[in-house]
Structure 1
Amino acid sequence: MRFSAAQTIEQVLPEALSRRAQPLAGLVDRLVSGTDEASAAQRTTLVAFSIRVASAAIAFLSQVALARLMGAFEYGVFVLVWVSMIIIGNLSCFGFHTAIVRFLPQYRERGDLDRVRGLLLAGRIFVLATSTAMTALAMAAAHFGSSWFQSYYVVPFMIGALALPMIALGDTLTGTARANGWSIRSLGPTYILRPLLILAFLVGAWALNYPVNGVTALVCAVLATYLTTLGQLIVVTVSLDRHFPPGPHRTELPLWVSVSLPIFLVEGFFFLLVNADVLMVGALMRPDDTAVYFATVKTLALVHFVYFAVKAGVAHRFAARIDDTDKSALHDLARRSVNWTFWPSLAMAGMILLAGPLLLSMFGADFGRGYPLLFILAAGVVLRAAIGPAESLLTMSGNQNVCAALFGGVLAINVALNALMIPVYGLYGAALATLIATIVETFALYQLVWSRIGVRMFVFMPARKTDR
């Protein structure tokens, strides 16, 4: 799927349609009514959707402002480095932030508060340790490997690396909030507060006559990340103390790590996959080309946000239903999540394509050349939305190993296609490579869910094996 680096510099929006051609007004009525499991997931998704609608506007406008303030070249430097830091920070969790989403609902359902407390404490310590080590490695690589890439990236990479511990801790706190169904505490800090702070700090630097370039923007991003994550830490901790009273901790770190590492591979490959084109453009082309490509991807953010909102609303509910003897509720929720993802994505993609020239022109005069790329990238987004959050269902149902292998294979295909096609076709080559990889990924995920879980997670297919 193509939510790309848009996901990095504050990504994603979302919501849900439960029936194919149902109008949006009727959708809202359905989402706020009902008392069953699916209705609860719908309401969580609606909250996530509302947050990400707001964050989509904030993120888009903030990126426009950043591009205008810095110019295409410096904006391209900032984009490539910050995208890289978001990816490395997420990978520094080694999957533990998603393991919390898997285990915490199960422990809560069983009333096993000792393991809940142990999981939450171990998660924070684990990711802070691993991300701090990753910071040291990243800074060493930037310093000693400076001859491998352009000189204008060296200092920005070293500055950006300082944000890694807070990015990783923030992802862990987001996973903790998701596991409890707290959409605002999960999504608000990363998708609303952080982009606003980055922009505010950069505007302040400009007002104080500091040079407005990639280095300054990364300093602002690091400061914004620390403030955002520390604030989220306080809010989430207070909420946890209300729901889980103090008591003994039971830690099963080997078990949690054994599950988190395959999840790390799934999400690591997935995260790299959805950002591979931006990274490859940054590696093979100039920063101003990277800026144009990223702005095009960013313009599709409203479409990407649908997928992420639905995923935020259902992943922890998939985990809570995995142990059910009767799988009908799980299957029904999975099928509903496909409709919730596809139809809003299709509608939003159409609107973005119509408004594309205007939206891209807001970044600057040179950015209009990205408009034809929107059609290629939007096709991949809509196709991927047709199977909903399929990889979340696989991960939460214990199929993370095969899912990791799938994403690893698709990532290899994507990188190889980008390496072959970008030198020949430029930005069009990156978009086409991404589309081809998305087709492979969508078909493979559909087959996996069908064979492993027995659900037809495709919007135009009947529901289960028993329906054949």
Structure 2
Amino acid sequence: MAVTDTQSATALPRGVIARLRSMLNGLLGGSGEASVTRRLAGTIFVIRVVSAGLAYLSQILLARWMGGSDYGVYVYVWTWVLLLGSMMDFGISASAQKIIPEYRTSGEHALLRGFLSGSRWMTFAVSSAVSLLLAGVIRALSPWIGANEIVPLTIGCLTLPPFVVANTQDGIARSHDWMRLGLMPQFIVRQALIIGFTAGAFALGFHLGATAAMLASAGAVWIAMIGQMVVLNRRLEGHIEPGPKAYDFRGWLAISLPILLVEGFYLLLSYTDVLVLQQFRPSEEVGVYFAVVKTLALVSFIHYAMSATTAHRFAEYHALGDKPRLSAYVAHAINWTFWPSLAATIVLLALGKPLLWLFGPQFVVGYDIMFVAAIGLVVRSAIGPVERLLNMLGHQHICALAYALAFVMNLALCVALVPHFGGHGAAAATSISLVFETVLLFWIVRRRLGLHVLAFGKRDS
């Protein structure tokens, strides 16, 4: 249902306003661990918002400079880079927030030093090998791939190794509460470089097609990763005492691979809609849907901020055996995920048409899709970062199963709905799957941990 009255759409109940005002006061003050967490989460959120602004600007410029068809190809290829690049680190970027706190707590400094260097070399070596293999597969399948997609896909393969290493370094940095170091290279520097490179090419009169845009994106990923590596190494030298290194690759993978399943199914759930759209609908429609997703990204950033801030603390409190502290911290994380997400959703829906118009007048047709897509995001935010809680407390397998079931549901619904309903069908399929995933995760945490992980209602102490 479209919003026709902006003022009524943005008017929040008094109780919600009071709760948000209380949250703002808590965010700005206090010195306890909850206040520190809120400030760290606030830092992450600001970084993601600035990043979203840069990404939004870059997508607007690319859509206008490239045209609908080339832009659709670029979105398709970049989606594959995001999907594969986020999965090819074996889950190390997420498991680092479990492994590093446990090594610190137990005093296993040799293993800690080994992990800080060995994890990055391992992910770089394997991702490079896989990227070369994928490039060969693309060449072999070239007769069945669109001629305008072959070169951008090949460039995308060359983008994967630095993308994977950057994710690994992000996890290491966040485990030390270095949020800006973990996130800014990927989300600020990289986006700024993409804008700079593509704007330069356009100003010089080059044809800005999908190939040129992917070259700019690949260069930006490599430069941002190398700069992050230099700074991270210097910070670690001043934080970790030099000494012998021990490498427990088998142990790291034993922890990481189940988490990889969780992350992998989550990413598949996140990108299935775009990938299925590309198969059944024109590239122009893919571009419109992608613009809708980008517009609603602010809501998911809030969930991401709390997940990135709290995961290693879940692991730390669990390692210490402090269940009351863990329970209170979980409740805090859920509260600070849902209410800001709800407020952000209302604002974005009210401003949806002018935001989509920035991409071009033809993108406004996706406005009503926003309302369908927003349902799943809001429902999912009501249980906060519980998937990180399950992963950090050793319940990776059941969490992976929940995500797998949600992904299968999403894929089946997308295949059934997208050919007939296009972007509306993709948004409906994703929202239904997110609601199913939310209910399933709530039930799992209730049964396994005895916690009421919901932003409202009675919560266990």
Q: How much does 1:227 deviate?
A: 0.4
Contact preservation (8 Å) 1:338, 1:388: yes
- The whole-number CA distance in structure 1 between the counterparts of 2:20 and 2:401 is 38
1:369-448 pair list within 5 angstroms: 369-448=365-444
The 1-side partners of 2:99 and 2:17 are apart by 36
SS at 2:67 equivalent: helix
The C-alpha deviation readout for 1:89-132, integer Å capped at 9, x for no partner, is 11110111212111101212333221110111120111011111
Q: Structure 1 residues 320, 20: closer, same or farther in 2, change over 3 A?
A: farther
Partner of 1:278: 274
Measured after TM superposition, the shift of residue 46 of structure 1 is: 1.6
Q: Give how far 1:249 is off.
A: 0.7
Corresponding residue for residue 250 of structure 2: 254
Q: How does 1:42-441 map to 2 (within 5 A)?
A: 42-441=38-437
Deviation at 1:151, TM superposition (A): 2.5
Q: Which amino acid aligns with 2:167?
A: D
TM-score of the aligned structures, taking structure 2 as reference length: 0.94
Instruction: Count residues in correspondence.
Output: 447
Gaps of 5+ in 1: 1-18
**Residue in 2 aligned with 1:5?**
none
Indicate how the Cα distance of structure 1 residues 55 and 24 shifts in structure 2: closer, same or farther if over 3 A, else same: farther
Distance 2:32 2:67 in 1: 51
Distance 2:143 2:324 in 1: 57
State the 1:24 CA deviation.
4.6
Aligned equivalents of 1:66, 1:108: Cα separation in 2? 45
Distance (Å, rounded) in 1 between the aligned partners of 2:48 and 2:244:
37
Distance apart, 1:408 and its partner CA: 1.1
Aligned residue identity for 1:398: G
Contact kept in structure 1, 2:349 and 2:371, CA below 8 Å:
yes
Aligned partners of 2:66 and 2:210 also within 8 Å: yes
- Which residue matches 2:9? none
Between the aligned partners of 2:106 and 2:255, the Cα distance in structure 1 is: 19
Distance 2:204 2:426 in 1: 39
SS at match of 2:245: coil
| Conserved? CA contact 1:97–1:123, under 8 Å | no
Specify the code of the residue in structure 1 equivalent to 2:307.
K
CA distance in 2 between counterparts of 1:162 and 1:119 reads: 25
SS of residue in 1 equivalent to 2:219: helix
RMSD of the TM alignment (CA)? 1.4
Of 42-51 and 193-202, the range deviating more from structure 2: 42-51
Deviation at 1:21, TM superposition (A): 4.6
Is the 8 Å Cα contact of residues 60 and 359 (structure 2) preserved in structure 1? yes
Where relative contact order (Cα < 8 A, 6+ residues apart) is larger, the structure is 1
Matches for 1:441-456 after TM superposition, within 5 Å: 441-456=437-452
Deviations 1:374-423, CA, capped at 9 Å, x for gaps: 00011111110001011000001100011111111111111111011111
Alpha-carbon offset, residue 150 of structure 1: 2.4
